[in-house]
Amino acid sequence: MRRVKVDRIDRRILRDLQSNGRMTNVDLAKRAGISAPPCLRRVRALEEAGFIRGYHADLAPERLGFGFTGFALVGLSSQAEPDLVAFETLIRSWPQVRECHMLAGDADFLLKVVAEDWDAYQRFLTTKLTAAKNVSHVKSLPTVRASKYAPGVPIDEPEIPA
């Protein structure tokens, strides 16, 4: 990856793309106060440097039949690196698991899980998650509602490390 020094214009581009990844380059350039060709060069440089990992559509889970979202705190019997990697590899094969974070503390992983409903989550829990090798315990945390959803990071910070 190429090293890029991120300036005020780059931060504006990143903020705008984070809020609307479908924005045209012309609109993005106008908002950043530059012309379209240098804007596109900046976007490409930010992509190559790894500041922009990708683009996606933000889908409504409930509209697609996924009425349950919950979190699972997972404890493993062993925290040896090969066992951690094996668990991470396994959960990548489960489409219900939308996020996985390794933790420090009482639990080893926090998983964000979607399912059609509570019964479907329970089936996933009993047939896959708790049945997985090296899983010692799981604590389920079903969500009641989401009051904030802000993917990405706050871009208005004065400095972004290169």
Domain ranges (residues) in the chain = 8-48, 61-142
Mean local confidence (pLDDT), 3-27: 93
Rounded distance between C-alpha atoms, residue 48 and residue 124, angstroms: 38
pLDDT of residue 96 exceeding 60: yes
CATH architecture of the domain covering 8-48 = Orthogonal Bundle (1.10)
Rounded distance between C-alpha atoms, residue 52 and residue 99, angstroms: 18
Six-digit token string for 132: 């997985």
119-160 tens-digit pLDDT: 999 999 999 999 999 999 999 999 999 999 988 999 875 555
Rounded distance between C-alpha atoms, residue 95 and residue 93, angstroms: 6
pLDDT score for 3: 66
Q: What is the pTM of this model?
A: 0.85
pLDDT of residue 93 exceeding 90: yes
pLDDT score for 5: 87
3-state secondary structure of 24: coil
Tell me if 8-48 shares its fold with 61-142. Answer: no
pLDDT score for 90: 98
Looking at every residue in the chain, the average pLDDT score rounds to 94
Mean local confidence (pLDDT), 49-53: 95
Higher pLDDT, 8 or 160: 8
Q: Under CATH, what is the fold of the domain 61-142?
A: Alpha-Beta Plaits (3.30.70)
pLDDT score for 156: 79
Of 34, 47, 36, the C-alpha closest to 6 is 47
pLDDT score for 4: 72
Mean local confidence (pLDDT), 59-64: 95
Rounded distance between C-alpha atoms, residue 92 and residue 96, angstroms: 9
pLDDT of residue 91 exceeding 80: yes
Question: Given pLDDT bands bounded at 50, 70 and 90, which one contains residue 2?
Answer: low
pLDDT of residue 162 exceeding 80: no
